[in-house]
Amino acid sequence: MVSILILGGTGQTGSWFARYFKEKGFDVAIWGPRGRVEVAERLGVRYAREMIAEAERSDIVLVSVLIEKTVEIISQVAPHMHPGSLIMDVTSIKSEPVKAMAACAPNGVEVLGTHPMFGPTMPNLHGQTIILTPAEGRTGNWLSVIQSLFQSDGAHVEILDAEEHDQIMAVVQALTHFAYIGIGATLRALDFDVQRSRRFMSPVYEIMIDFVGRILDQEPELYASIQRNPKATAIRQTFIAECMRLSEKADAGDNEGFKQIMAEAARHYGKTHEALIRSDRVINARIREKDRE
């Protein structure tokens, strides 16, 4: 039986993976910084009272702690792992954790950055995307084992270099979250009555507002840490600059300038009509749902 230690296993994401690997027949132990033994009892797995000792005998160590704590935990645990084992992390930033795992783990320990592109509210892996970022020269049998395991449950697995991962996620996650949270903060600053406005919403507006609410319903600590992506600063600054450029055109009544910015964005986006068709399906599904209410 394969043994796995999940560091941060008492948190929401760590607990999700504890349940997942337990269902797969792994011998699962979890550890958390606050010693929440009751979480292990609820999950039906072992609680690792001695983190280092458990890491020494584990086949896999999965790091699922806050981004700002990830490298610190890796540096404490990785040196004690045995050759043939695997260390992996599930944070949303990959460059620093992968470098730390490769630097701290002894020779013969495999290193695999992992980024599940879903939250712990998802019931299973079917239809979900998981990104794997193996460390050069530190990959062997475990990459194919983990990839096959996730794929067998219907996950879509992508393999990326850690640097490329962070560049893409600075847009896919950091920018989109920043924009949604910014809309939410604007609604608060305006003291805008969101609930009353639902009476006057188009389906498009309602879906957008629900996505804002979805983000605002999550743990602020997680979403703040996602903004720590080293590639995100320049992207946020570009976003703010483009918002200001659009605002200046609108404030000046420069319709032609505003239209030009939108047209240039559409040309770069490409296949906008296909996006309209896909979004129409979402809108129509929402209308049908409301008709059943």
pLDDT in tens, 41-78: 999 999 999 999 999 999 999 999 999 999 999 999 99
Residue 235 confidence class, pLDDT cut points 50, 70, 90: very high
Residue 159, classified by CB atoms within 10 Å of its CB into exposed (0-12), middle (13-18) or buried (19+), is middle
**Is the per-residue pLDDT at 125 higher than 80?**
yes
H-state helical runs in the chain: 12-23, 37-43, 51-57, 67-77, 95-104, 141-152, 162-169, 176-189, 194-197, 203-216, 220-226, 232-251, 255-269, 272-292
Listing DSSP states for 238-258 in one string gives HHHHHHHHHHHHHHTT-HHHH
d(CA 7, CA 63): 5
Q: Which helix (H) or strand (E) holds 62?
A: strand 60-63
CATH code assigned to 3-160: 3.40.50.720
Residue 291 confidence class, pLDDT cut points 50, 70, 90: confident
- Dihedral of CA atoms 96, 97, 103, 105 in degrees, nearest 10, equals 180
What does the pLDDT read at residue 190?
Answer: 98
β-bridge pairing 129-134 and 110-116: antiparallel
List pLDDT tens digits, range 142-183.
999 999 999 999 999 999 999 999 999 999 999 999 999 999
Going from N- to C-terminal start, the domains of the chain cover: 3-160, 164-292
**Contact predicate 143/185, CB 8 Å:** no
What does the pLDDT read at residue 195?
Answer: 95
**Contact predicate 130/122, CB 8 Å:** no
Which pair of tokens denotes residue 32?
A: 């958390």
**Is the per-residue pLDDT at 293 higher than 80?**
no
Indicate the DSSP class of residue 199: G
Which pair of tokens denotes residue 164?
A: 């490329």
Residue 196, classified by CB atoms within 10 Å of its CB into exposed (0-12), middle (13-18) or buried (19+), is exposed
What does the pLDDT read at residue 42?
Answer: 97
pTM of the model: 0.87
**Is the per-residue pLDDT at 244 higher than 80?**
yes
List pLDDT tens digits, range 6-26.
999 999 999 999 999 999 999
**Is the per-residue pLDDT at 246 higher than 80?**
yes
What does the pLDDT read at residue 187?
Answer: 97
Residue 185 confidence class, pLDDT cut points 50, 70, 90: very high
According to DSSP, the residues that pair with 62 across neighbouring strands are 6, 88
d(CA 274, CA 269): 11
Which pair of tokens denotes residue 8?
A: 């941060």
> Can you tell me the mean pLDDT for 237-263?
98
Residue 124 confidence class, pLDDT cut points 50, 70, 90: very high
What does the pLDDT read at residue 119?
Answer: 86
